[in-house]
Structure 1
Amino acid sequence: MRLRREQVIATALRLLDDVGLDALTMRRLGQELNVQAATLYWHIKNKEELLDAMAEAMLADCAAGLPEELSGMARAAGVAERLRRALLAHRDGARVFAGTYVAQDNTLRVSDTLVGALRDGGLSTRAAAWGCWSIVYYVIGFTLEEQALEVRPGTDPAKADAGRFREAVERGAYPHLAAALPHLVSTDHDARFRYGLQLILRGLEAEVEGEPRTWVGLPRDPAPPPKAS
């Protein structure tokens, strides 16, 4: 049977789940497909293109079927939730997506839906565009950390050991970390994610009445001392 590009991408995603991003190579993918390198490179010319295609495939259903009766901000939250689930659906999914800059249909549709939801929520076009980036960056960053805490066969469990963090805080002079420790080591990722997302959305809602406000009262880094002549 003739090898198809869709088959290559589907196999790459399956291999990603099995071995993780670091072990996913073009050579290993060719072995999994039982094809020679020349056949594989006919469909995917290098790993960068492969990761772009994988990221695009992961977002296939993120923008479909959001209820129109929801408010714009609620639809924006729905897109963010779906994006997180899409990245979590594959091992190292956030790392794959974070390393790409895809301008293909699934990815563009997610961005278009998110910007449209924010505009429907009353934001200016600029606030909707920049708000879209803020939400996407938050989802990627949160999911990167969330997946980094997963303990899988062959990985060092100490890297995801909250006990080490707890012991370090309790041994040192970190009174604020100690007070917040139960919350800092909470494993309720869904609640933590939604808390941060709501902060972003409420901040964006504050822009509905006009252009972004000037931030006041934020400390500035002191100017560096003049260089000696």
Structure 2
Amino acid sequence: MIILKAENLSKIYGNAEAEVKALDHINLTINTGEFVSIIGPSGSGKSTLLHMLGGVDKPTSGKIWIDNTDISALNETEMSIFRRKKVGLIYQSYNLIPTLDVKKNILLPMLLDGIKIYEKEKEFEEIVKLLGLEKRLEHLPNQLSGGQQQRVAIGRALIYRPSIILADEPTGNLDRENTKITLELLKQANREYNQTIVMITHDNEVALSANRMIKIVDGKILSDEVVTHENN
């Protein structure tokens, strides 16, 4: 079943002589439960593509469907609500709220929708256990290591059990050990909750942890291939 579809997606910055084509008529289909990495050199358009898919920015032309919803047609308010419930976003810089503790940062999407914490206590406890953050719930982000902050960001992306998780260089600021932990958490979300993962990375080794790898160069898809794993 198709969970995400991009059709003739283009993004142009500037105009006339200063025009920069970040995305050039990209067509992409991703099925439910896939773990897809998107790799390319700096300036290739991979982060721009992720921002389009997450509704953070709008394409110059083309359309995007997530869960059969044409997100190109949503206004800003509708997109914010849709994103909180259907799309989990994970950033390289974590994007945690510095004045909120770990528990509230993880539950933030639900708090914004007025959902009471006790209504989702079971889901919350499952995620906290998965992330290994049971003893950090009352800590503020600046009291955590980079790896712990990224785990909180992953928890926030998982709490609604969204259809799709979009991760923009999620291991970019992490050391080797925390990179391994972060990738394993994404794999678990993919396996246990059948969540679709789309991960941007410049690191070929990280990209190979996915089951499908798409290479982008100059705003165009250069290759799209299945990744085989020896232990699969």
Task: Give the TM-score of the pair, scaled to structure 2.
Answer: 0.27
Q: Which is helix-richer, 1 or 2?
A: 1
TM-score normalised by the chain length of structure 1: 0.27
Q: Relative contact order, CA 8 A, sep 6+: which one is greater?
A: 2
Return the structure number with greater strand share.
2
